Amino acid sequence: MPKKIYEPVGHHYIVEASGCNPKVIGSIEKFQDILVKAAEIAGAKVWAISFSKFPPSGVSGVVVISESHISTHTWPEQKYAALDIYTCGAHVDPEKAVVYAVEAFGASSSHITEITRGINEGDMKFFHSFVTWEEDLKKHMSRASDK
């Protein structure tokens, strides 16, 4: 008889966003607004926000949510943003936050790894699994405008 697998504890998304708009990912205000809205779109409750600017033009920040966190660092001079979203609880949808944020960054492509964390077969020995995919966002947008 196969073991029962219980609901995982959380979902962790690691996002590499390339071709981003440097004016967006280099602005503390714009970037912070995007990540707070991403949390809200996912259905998460925001508890604390902390963002800082680093030379030459990068932004680092964290949005602490009831369900865990959204953290980031950007390299506007390379048009690159690294994004980390971890949530627990069945009432949030972190994938909505990922989609919103990557589009709001103006990214042309993204490489995303989703890690399902805290998987348990009833023996209280937790493990994780992951899937990875890439999106060429500019191709999707041009196909959508052709329709």
Strand partners, 11: 87, 116
Identify the active-site residue in 57, 69, 88, 109: 88
- Residue 91 CA to residue 72 CA, distance in Å, equals 23
Q: Would residue 73 show up in a list of annotated catalytic residues for this protein?
A: yes
Q: Would residue 11 show up in a list of annotated catalytic residues for this protein?
A: no
Identify the active-site residue in 27, 68, 108, 110: 68
Among 114, 101, 111, 100, residue whose Cα is nearest residue 136? 111
Strand partners, 54: 58
Among 76, 68, 92, 86, residue whose Cα is nearest residue 128? 86
Q: Would residue 52 show up in a list of annotated catalytic residues for this protein?
A: no
- Residue 134 CA to residue 140 CA, distance in Å, equals 12
Identify the active-site residue in 60, 71, 73, 109: 73
Q: Tell me the catalytic residues.
A: 68, 73, 88
